[in-house]
Each structure stands twice: as structure tokens, then as C-alpha cells.
Structure 1
């Protein structure tokens, strides 16, 4: 029996032969024999991290950049094809290794030892990270001292969540699932945050984040404006990925002077666009809306922040027709309810940012049925070596 050629990567990262055989940890160009043994091809690389493939933080470290870029394009093209659509898809932007500026980790105490890292793939077991090729070095360097602190906060055989982010003032830490008990624990948190120069250390025991250390208000700069960052607030995963998405949004919006930014978050796109246009920024999260509103007011930007749940109360076609361009950046569920109205609106441009090719394709179908067309799509690989696909797309009437 002759060896079979791996020709593509499936959605979950397995290599696939033309006859539909799935082969884990194979790459297009590899050969696989009848027993499943893989002969590496030109695009099969040595995974750099000792934790691969156990750690669930990465699933495609064995794939080189060229094959990974093809995988991102193929995921988008396949999603479009499922809706009988096609479009021009540009070469992907890939974030470099060790540039992730936010991460959600898990911790567990086992006797005197504290495990801290990502879960194993398809498991709740924690990989205790001794190295990491995706986290920014400053975040990874915080793991060892955090293990010591967590040893004083977590009971034996119990767990906690740890969210890390790089803010303007330094590292922002949110520990969830613990309730510091007694003066000693409170002092340990304060001493730890001070000793390691943290921007903020917050704890959430189940009633919402509470800052235990924040010597000055924690912010993130967007479009030249410092915006208050809520504990656990959303940031694009990498700074260069954010820049790539912003460039695409600017190209999609063009010279529009009146813009609506829907699912605006803290103002990732709204604040840069407000430098040259009047912007309505709609966001369902109250804390993010308040942060954006205050920041825009301090900076004197032409920006109105609207606290609005766009799933339950989308803007109407008549409301959207007042704008020259609309930016959409919905969560993974997409923007089905809002897109239905947008399909009928008379604005001329849409810049759509998505983290889910399937819901993007569904929404694109609705827009095209409403008289829009896709100009281009640009994939962005912020979550290097993962199966997570992001994109920005331009629609025109």
C-alpha cells in the first residue's frame, strides 16, 4: 500500500488526506503510511516548546508559518463556501511568538506545590508552564512569583483562575475563585503587588473583581487616548494584531466622516477613528461603555458612547442609514440581529471584524442578499499556533 499525502489541515488542526483520513499532528506535504506513521514534509517543523502537544495553549506548533497561513485562509474560504460565497482573501498577518499581552490561566494547589498554566487539550488538567512561546516575556516572568502567592491563597486540592494583561502602567493581575481570609492574606497580596511593581492586583471571590492594589488608575492607550481598563477587561490579544485589524478597519471605512462602531468595547477602533470622524460607539458592557465615554470626553473627541445590547435592541435600518460607514466587531456568536437591519441600511461601507469564520460567513450571506458585496478579507493570526481564526472584511453597496 502506498503512502498517502496530507493535503490540508481540518478545522481542528488534524492533517487530512484526499480520501478523508484524519491524521493528528501531520502537515500538508507529509506522507502517512497505512499504520499512521508520518514522514515529515517541507512544512513540518520541530515544535519549539517542551509542553507541546500536551498544553492546550497551542495545537499547531508543528506547522510552519507558510502552512499555517494557508490554514487560516482555507478556514475562511471553507466557511464562505458553506454559504455559497467566495471573496478575495489576502495573505494573513501573523503575530510573532511571545507577543500575547493577555491570557487566562488556571491554577491548582497540590500540597506545597502550585500548578499554573493552560489546561491540557480537551482536559481540565493543568500544564504547569516551565516555558511559553506565546506569552509576552513580562507576563511569563510573573508566573513563578505568582505560584508563591497563590500557595497562600488557595486551599489544598483547590483551584483558581488567573487573568493577566499588559496595561500602560505594567502588569494587571486578576485572581478569581479565591477569597483572601484574614489580615495575613490581605497583607501578602499588598506586599506581593508592591514588590513586583504590579499595575493592579484584583481578586474576585464570586461577587465581581475588587482591586486590592492599584496605586494609580490602570489604563490602556487606544488611538492616543488613555482609557480606564476594567479588571478582566477585553483587549486584542497582541498589540501588532490590533494594529493590523485597525489598518484594515481604516481601509474599510475609507474617508467616511460619520461612523458607527458597533460592539465597540473600550474603543479599539472608535477612538482612532474619532481623530478624523464623528463616531457613535455602541457597547453592551456597562464598564467598558463608561470607560470609553470618560476617555473620549477628556480627550475632546467627537465620540458618543451608547450603552446598548445590540442582540436585544439592535439599531434599525433607518438609524444606521444616518452613517456613512459602520464598523462591526461582534463576539463569536456574530451579529445576526444587527446584520438583518444593516442589510437594509443605505450607508455605503461596512468594516466587519470577526473571530469566527462560520458566523461571519452567515452574516456576510445576509448582507449580500441585502445588496452588499465583499471587497476583500484580511486574516489576522493573533493566536499563533492555535485554530482560532480572526479576520477583517470590507463590504460596499
Structure 2
């Protein structure tokens, strides 16, 4: 066991851990805040520094508050910052966007005030499942830095309609032999009610299908789906239609579909994208490319400004988007294309008056490179990772783009993750 160190936390790292600088390098300590004096015990390597556990807080920050969740840090690793007062927390998150733009070569941008999703509003959860000794079932998020599953009784981030399913779902899975050792449960809260996708390490039979059907009926879940080992998803039980309204368009998401985390966050992102476009004075009915379109969260509101070509690589998402777009009147064209391997080339991009992209966590290196070589003048970039945003924005800036607006959106409350909508004009 390593000896205790007495250190002062100087700042927060990108993962929300406190960082202390020592002669041996950086020390990363979860659950600490800037300015705090603590004793910590190093527990292992982390990058060029060391991870450490806080043993005692000798001098607490005035911004330290009591975390609302009993599982915070001691068990569940999903949240990192419940112990920080909201004004200081919000300022730090907003500063992450400011710093990303500075690294991209755009200092001094007027970054908007951050929109913060309220507690208990997140509508999507990917829960880990683990069979314990004696047959009991653990259901929850992973513990911090571990494959162990925190068995949750509550959650202050998720919508209560999803939290209410924890106990009955745990009891159902305890009785299902399809879950031998481990699996997952993806819960989406749609306008039609909760939607459940189970992934298990064993097959389900007719009797277990009957159990799932009864569970769905009892708990108001129109559809319960099950993922086979080869990744194929089938409906184990469906008692009614599933649907979600996106900007007035009804879509029928596939089981486990990706959704924006919170309705309030989704609305803020859409508003920022539309405001960014409005400020650019595009020609009336200009063509717009929506890249990484998913099920159409941005495609449908964008269609009020012009004809939208929506590109997405996931087959189920494209099918959902295409079916909804056809019913909505044809202003949106859904196109399946994996932009990581086949980004739109300059000749294709040149047909559009504006490009909107909402890439995955690692950003869009290759696609942004093609945009810089095109004649596209307007780009709206929706990011969930300030580090990737800084890198991709730097490429755009080097190609002659300037940031015209930047809006931070915190729909991942109490986590270090930040959504941003940044508008560029060449």
C-alpha cells in the first residue's frame, strides 16, 4: 500500500476528477474540488500521472455540497460532480467550451449561457446486469473504473418512470435463466411509454417470452425486445405501437435507439442549430446536409428551412427516419452511409448551402477534412466532446471558417460531458 500524500487540488481534469500537481506528476482524485486540501493515497498509474483515493478532506471548498444521491461515488460511477454547487459547476462546464474554441484558434468568442437539463429528466439508460452468487441480480451503472455493477435503488438523473422499473425488472431477470452471468437493459422513455431492449448471454424460450409479455402489460411497456448473440434484435413481446414525436413528426424508433438524453437538452440543441442557420441568411429553400442524422432529431426541424439530405450509417436508424420522412411529406431524404468510412466528398458537399453534423464522441476527422476542401460556407457542428470539437474546429478555422455562435448545453447533468452547438461561416 502506498503512503498517504497531503496535496492541494488545483483544478478539475476532463473526467471531473480533482488534479493535484506533485514532483512525481499529476495526481487524479475523484470526489474532490479545486482549492481543497486533502490527504490521498495513490492507487495506480493513470496516463502520465497517478490515480488516487481521497482519504480525508482537510480543508473543504466553499462550493462543496451534499450529493443528493446515496449511490454517488461510493458505488455508482455514472455521475462525477454531484458534490459541487451549481454555480461553480456550470461555470466550469461553460469554460470547457470557451477553452475548446481557444485551442481551435478562436479566442474571445461570445459563448452563450449554458442550458442545464433539470434533474430526473434523462430518458435513456443503458443499464448493466450481473448475476450474483445465490442467483440475485445486480442492475445499475458500472462502478467507477470497474466492471463491477452498482446495484441501484434510485437515480437522480433518470426520469422517475424509468427508475420505477428498477425493482420489478431486477426481480423479473432474477427468475429468467436467459441471463446466466451478465447482460444489459436499454430503457428508452418514448411518448408511447417505456421501451425495453434486453441483451442476455443465454437464449429465451416460449415461457420466458410469456414472462416478458406479462411484465410489459403490468408495467405499461408496449414493446420488450431481445438481442440475440449475433446482434440481431427481435421483439419478444409487443402489445401496442411505439412512437416518439420529433418536432411534430411521429417516428417509431427501433429497440434501443439512440435518443438525445433529455427533452430539455434536445430542445436547446434544436433551437441553437436553427438560430445558427437563421443568422447565416441562407437562400430561401437552400439544400441542407444533415450528417450523422440518427432518427431525425435535427432533420425534421431543419426541413422547415429547406430540403434536407439526412445521412446516417446505422441501418435501423435510417429505416426509422425514412419511414417517418415519407409520411411527413418528403422534405427529408434518408440516405444510409457510414461517414466514418465514406465521408461525403467535396463534389457532393458543394451541392449544399449548409452542412449540419452531429458526430459521435470521437468527432469527425475525415468528414471535416472533406468539408474544408469543399465550397460549403456554413457549418453547424453539434458536439458531445470538447476535445474532439477543439480538434475539428481547428481544421475548419485553418480553412478560413470563423465561429459565429457557440451554445453550451448540459444534458448530462453532474457528469463531465458537455454538448455544444457551434456555428461556423467561411
TM value normalised by structure 2: 0.87
C-alpha distance in 2, partners of 1:280/1:118?
36
Task: Give yes or no for the alignment of 1:68 onto 2:95.
Answer: no
C-alpha distance in 1, partners of 2:203/2:180?
17
Cα-to-partner distance string for 1:288-319 (whole Å, 9 max, x where unaligned): 11211111111114111111111222222232
Correspondence for 1:286 among 315, 333, 337:
315
In the other structure, the counterpart of 2:418 is 389
TM-superposed deviation, 1:199: 2.1
- Please say if residues 101 and 139 of structure 1, whose CA atoms lie closer than 8 Å, have aligned partners that are also in contact: yes
C-alpha distance in 2, partners of 1:315/1:4?
50
Task: Give yes or no for the alignment of 1:13 onto 2:16.
Answer: yes
C-alpha distance in 2, partners of 1:89/1:154?
52
Task: Give yes or no for the alignment of 1:47 onto 2:70.
Answer: no
In the other structure, the counterpart of 1:194 is 217
3-state SS, counterpart of residue 415 of structure 2: coil
Task: Give yes or no for the alignment of 1:240 onto 2:243.
Answer: no
C-alpha distance in 2, partners of 1:387/1:38?
25
TM value normalised by structure 1: 0.93
C-alpha distance in 1, partners of 2:179/2:222?
29
Moved over 6 A (4+): none
C-alpha distance in 2, partners of 1:334/1:29?
33
Task: Give yes or no for the alignment of 1:223 onto 2:229.
Answer: no
C-alpha distance in 1, partners of 2:173/2:217?
16
TM-superposed deviation, 1:180: 4.5
- Please say if residues 106 and 116 of structure 1, whose CA atoms lie closer than 8 Å, have aligned partners that are also in contact: yes
1:84-163 matched pairs, under 5 angstroms: 84-86=105-107, 87-110=109-132, 111-154=134-177, 158-163=181-186
- Change beyond 3 A, Cα 1:287–1:24: closer
TM-superposed deviation, 1:5: 6.1
- Change beyond 3 A, Cα 1:195–1:4: closer
3-state SS, counterpart of residue 169 of structure 2: helix
Task: Give yes or no for the alignment of 1:335 onto 2:341.
Answer: no
C-alpha distance in 1, partners of 2:228/2:350?
45
TM-superposed deviation, 1:30: 3.6
Task: Give yes or no for the alignment of 1:274 onto 2:274.
Answer: no
Larger mean CA deviation between 276-285 and 11-20 belongs to: 11-20
C-alpha distance in 2, partners of 1:155/1:179?
4
C-alpha distance in 2, partners of 1:392/1:242?
11
TM-superposed deviation, 1:380: 1.4
- Please say if residues 263 and 283 of structure 1, whose CA atoms lie closer than 8 Å, have aligned partners that are also in contact: yes
Correspondence for 1:358 among 387, 402, 425:
387
Cα-to-partner distance string for 1:351-394 (whole Å, 9 max, x where unaligned): 10011111111111111111101123222111111122221101
- Please say if residues 178 and 203 of structure 1, whose CA atoms lie closer than 8 Å, have aligned partners that are also in contact: no
TM-superposed deviation, 1:337: 1.2
C-alpha distance in 1, partners of 2:18/2:316?
43
3-state SS, counterpart of residue 46 of structure 1: coil
- Change beyond 3 A, Cα 1:17–1:181: closer
C-alpha distance in 1, partners of 2:210/2:29?
52
Q: Where does the alignment leave 5 or more consecutive residues of structure 2 unmatched? A: 1-5, 41-54
C-alpha distance in 2, partners of 1:189/1:24?
39
C-alpha distance in 2, partners of 1:163/1:182?
20
Correspondence for 1:24 among 9, 17, 30:
30
RMSD: 2.2
TM-superposed deviation, 1:22: 4.6
- Change beyond 3 A, Cα 1:297–1:182: closer
3-state SS, counterpart of residue 175 of structure 2: helix
Give the length in aligned residue pairs. Answer: 395
3-state SS, counterpart of residue 149 of structure 1: helix
C-alpha distance in 2, partners of 1:261/1:43?
41
Cα-to-partner distance string for 1:233-264 (whole Å, 9 max, x where unaligned): 11001010101111111112225332111111
